[in-house]
Amino acid sequence: MPQSLANNLIHLVFLTKHREAWLSDAVRPDLHAYLVAVFKNLNCPVLILNSVEDHIHILFFLHRTISLSAVVEDVKKSSSKWLKTQAAYLALFTWQAGYGAFSVSQSNVPNVRQYISRQAEHHKKISFQDELRALLVKNELDFDERYLWD
């Protein structure tokens, strides 16, 4: 095949250090816009992005020429630096070291979009810890509970 083609859809989840509630309603819209721009600059367009006070969900296309770990590193590093400049109370902001990344089939995009768009409602019923455990089990990922939280 003379042309390289890929359709790699990723549902990315990462959280603030110690799950602290850094992401207030005041900062989230600008953070979301900033993150969309970072992904765009990496040639990894975002389909949907949403967050609550302590974590973020992003559905995006992973470009065929960049690794997932490089995208996550760039996104977290640049957004952390940017957030620290937005308000005095954010000067000590940091993301947790790890992340969850789950492949998404094209046919499941509508379901994942809906899931991400309803994060605030969702977390009135289920904690982030239970949400992450369910995502890990659904995606058949082995995990050690001792290393999920810092």
Q: Answer whether 0.75 is exceeded by the pTM.
A: yes
pLDDT band at 149 (very low <50, low <70, confident <90, very high): low
Report whether pLDDT(8) > 80. yes
Query: In order of start, what are the domains of the chain with their CATH numbers?
Result: 8-147 (3.30.70.1290)
pLDDT in tens, 55-94: 999 999 999 999 999 999 999 999 999 999 999 999 999 9
Three-state secondary structure readout of the chain: CCCCCCCEEEEEEEEEHHHCCCCCCCCHHHHHHHHHHHHHHCCCCEEEEEECCCEEEEEEEECCCCCHHHHHHHHHHHHHHHHHCCCHHHCCCCECCCCEEEEECHHHHHHHHHHHHCHHHHCCCCCHHHHHHHHHHHCCCCCCHHHCCC
pLDDT in tens, 103-142: 999 999 999 999 999 888 877 777 777 877 888 888 787 8
